[in-house]
Amino acid sequence: MSDNKLTESEEKGMPLLGDDFPEMKVVTTRGALELPKHFTGKWFVLFSHPGDFTPVCTTEFVAFQNAQKEFKKLNCELIGLSVDQVYAHLKWEEWIKENLKVEIKFPIIADTGTVAEKLGLIHPGKGTNTVRAVFVVDDKAKIRIILYYPQELGRNISEIVRVVKAMQIADKNKVAMPANWPENEIVKDHVIVPPANSVSAVKDRQIRSKKGEIECFDWWLCHKKLSK
Which string of b and e fits 22-48 if b means at least 16 CB within 10 Å?
Answer: eebebbbbeeebebbebbeebbbbbbb
Helix axes 157-173, 55-66, angle to 10 degrees: 40
Reference 47, options 117, 135, 115, 162; nearest CA is 135
142 forms beta bridges with: 20
User: Which residue type is seen at 176?
Assistant: A
- Choosing from 57, 76, 216, 222, the catalytic residue is 57
Cα(67)–Cα(65) distance, integer angstroms = 5
Instruction: Compute the half-sphere exposure of residue 113: CA atoms within 13 Å on the CB side of its CA.
Output: 6
Considering all CA atoms of the chain, what is the largest pairwise distance in Å, rounded to the nearest integer?
64
Q: Please indicate whether residue 57 is annotated as part of the active site.
A: yes
Helix intervals (H) in 124-198: 157-173
3-state secondary structure of 95: helix
Residues acting as catalytic residues:
57
